[in-house]
Amino acid sequence: MSPARKALISITSAKATLFGGKETTGLFISEALHPYNVLVAAGFEVDLASETGSYTADWLSQQPDFLNGDDLTTWNNSSSDFRKKLDNMPKAADVDGSQYGVFYASAGHAALIDYPKASALQKIAEQVWANGGVVASVCHGPAIFANVLDKATGEPIIKGRRLTGFTTEAENTMGIMEELRVWNAELVEELAVRLGAKYERSAGIWDDFHVVDGRLVTGQNPASAKSTAEAAVAVFEKL
C-alpha cells in the first residue's frame, strides 16, 4: 500500500538574533512556501506544523532578493491558503504522523536551535520513514535529523546516506560563525559527520543543488527549496 498523498512541512519555532543583534532569524519563508506550492500543484494535501505551533519570520527571508513577485503577494495576503495554514498551524505533538507520505523540513538559521530537540517533529519524520514515505529537508533543515531514527535498525536515518544542507563555508561568508557558536549550534556538515552521513555540496555556496538518496531528499540552501520539493515528489511517485 502506497503512503498517503499528504505532506507535512515542518517549521522552526525558534527565534534568535544575528549580525550583532540587529536582525532576527526564524523561518526562512521561501523554504516553506516554495515546497508548499510544489506539493499542492502535485496534488498533495499539505499541512504545516512546528514544535510549539508558533513561528517567527526570518528578517533576511523578507528582503526583495528572496521574497518578491507572487511569493511576496502570497506572503502579504493573510487570507492566502499558505498564510492561513502557517498562522494557524498546530503543535507537532497534536499531529498524527502516520497519515503523511512526505515530511519536508523547512528551516532558517533558527532551526539549528530547536530542531535537534524537536521530539514531536522528529516523531513525525520517523513515522513517515517507517511507513515507506519520503523524508526531505532544505538548508538548515537537516538539524532535525539529530534524533530521527530508522525504527527497523535503531540507527539514524541519515547514517550511510548522501545528503546536503547549508555549507559551513556559507556560514563563514555571512560572517556569523561566532554567533552560531554562542548558540552552541551543530552545523549541518558537523551533524553529517557525527551521524555517519556522506555530506555533498555544489561548488558554489548559493547554487541550486539537491541530493537524492533513496527516500531521503535534501537541498543545500534557500535557492534549492523548490527543486528539492520537486525531487521529493518524483521519488514519491515511484514508491
At 104, give phi and psi (nearest 5°).
-130, 115
Q: Which three cell numbers stand for residue 213?
A: 538518496
Instruction: Report whether 84 contacts 219 (CB < 8 A).
Output: no
Active site residues: 139-140, 171
Distance CA 54, CA 75 (A): 16
Q: In this structure, which topology does domain 6-237 adopt according to CATH?
A: Rossmann fold (3.40.50)
DSSP state of 156: B
Distance CA 170, CA 110 (A): 15
CA angle 150, 164, 87 (to 5 degrees): 80
Distance CA 142, CA 239 (A): 22
Tens of pLDDT, residue by residue, the chain (239 residues): 789 999 999 999 999 999 999 999 999 999 999 999 999 999 999 999 999 999 999 999 999 999 999 999 999 999 999 999 999 999 999 999 999 999 999 999 999 999 999 999 999 999 999 999 999 999 999 999 999 999 999 999 999 999 999 999 999 999 999 999 999 999 999 999 999 999 999 999 999 999 999 999 999 999 999 999 999 999 999 99
Residues in the chain: 239
Instruction: Report whether 104 contacts 35 (CB < 8 A).
Output: yes
In this prediction the pTM is 0.98
Grid look-up 516553506 returns 32
Element (H, E) at 181: helix 177-182
Q: Which three cell numbers stand for residue 71?
A: 511569493
